[in-house]
Amino acid sequence: MENHHSHHHSATQDDDQAAMAELLDLDAEVLHSYLSEVIDWVHELAASLPRRRILDLGSGTGAGALALARRFPDADVMAVDMSEYLLDHLRGKARDLGVADRVRTVQADLDAAWPAIDPVDLVWMSSSLHHMADPDRVLTEVYAALHPGGLVAVAELDSFPRFLPDDLGPGRPGAEARWHAVMDEVRAIDMPHLGSDWGPRLHQAGFTIEAERHFDIDLKSPLPASAGRYAQATLRRMRSGLADRMSADDLAVLDTLIDSDGPGGILRRGDLTVRAARTVWVARRP
């Protein structure tokens, strides 16, 4: 298989990728109980599948691919992502977990061309379908990639995670809600498929819907230290995307929160919570 990865990355791109890798790893770590519940559930639904070839599309740093490799000890897992940086990170984690012999990576832009892959029994797509330019086309490719009887699991965000109380102390109350409202406006243009109801679209691609489950995540104190870093990484990403659309006051509050050293930094707040919502659809190729 050809690898079209370009080696001409700028320093900024690499910083971006490193920040993304950190965010994805923290997401998997902090939302660990959600992820293992979903993976256990998918494992049950997949109990009758004859063989175990698993594909993770838009794998990122491999939260799903690696959890699946461990939950399906006989399976071969293929992780596909457009980012060679994230796949490299994934391979390192696979080695650490002792599953490198069963986890392969393929660099491919799924908007451009479908990689040449032998048929699989299970496809996992977590927070990746909404990134695709034409997700309906991707779903028909997924259908074609599956053996008859095979399953696809689509996990998507209902909303981005929230961490803060309404009144932060400094600044006008409701800051996090305001930032989310701005982000929703931007996302509606950049990512029109985010928040879609994927059931009808899976059906349209030929699948039979087996199940749909909603997960409300609400983690409270005592939180692990990684929760603070997850909140910080999320707010940093928000700042880089939204700075020019925020009021000067809100930006100052945000800068105080993301500062690792300052007394008002989010790493030091004792009042953090983690609120997130995810929906998972499982569908079968008849």
Does 135 interact with ligand SAM (rule: CB under 6 A)?
A: no
Grouping H, G, I as helix, E, B as strand and the rest as coil, residue 264 is coil
R_g of the chain computed on alpha carbons: 19
Does 54 interact with ligand SAM (rule: CB under 6 A)?
A: no
Nearer to ligand SAM, 79 or 205 (CB): 79
Does 60 interact with ligand SAM (rule: CB under 6 A)?
A: yes
Strand order in the sheet with 146-162: 103-107, 76-81, 53-57, 120-126, 146-162, 274-284, 208-219
Catalogue the E-assigned strands of 68-180. Answer: 76-81, 103-107, 120-126, 146-162
CB of residue 88 to ligand SAM, shortest distance in Å: 12
One character per residue 96-125, x = contact with ligand SAM (rule: CB under 6 A): -------------xxx--------------
- Residue with CB nearest ligand SAM? 60
CB of residue 64 to ligand SAM, shortest distance in Å: 5
Query: By the 8 A CB rule, do 256 and 184 touch?
Result: no
Task: Output the CA angle 64-234-27, nearest 5 degrees.
Answer: 20
Q: How far apart are CA 249 and CA 14, in angstroms?
A: 30
Does 81 interact with ligand SAM (rule: CB under 6 A)?
A: yes
Among 46, 64, 93, 103, binds ligand SAM (CB under 6 A): 64
Does 31 interact with ligand SAM (rule: CB under 6 A)?
A: no
Does 131 interact with ligand SAM (rule: CB under 6 A)?
A: yes
Which residues are registered as beta bridge partners of 248?
none
Does 58 interact with ligand SAM (rule: CB under 6 A)?
A: yes
Q: Which residues bind ligand SAM (CB under 6 A)?
A: 24, 27-28, 58-60, 63-64, 81-83, 86, 109-111, 126-128, 131-132
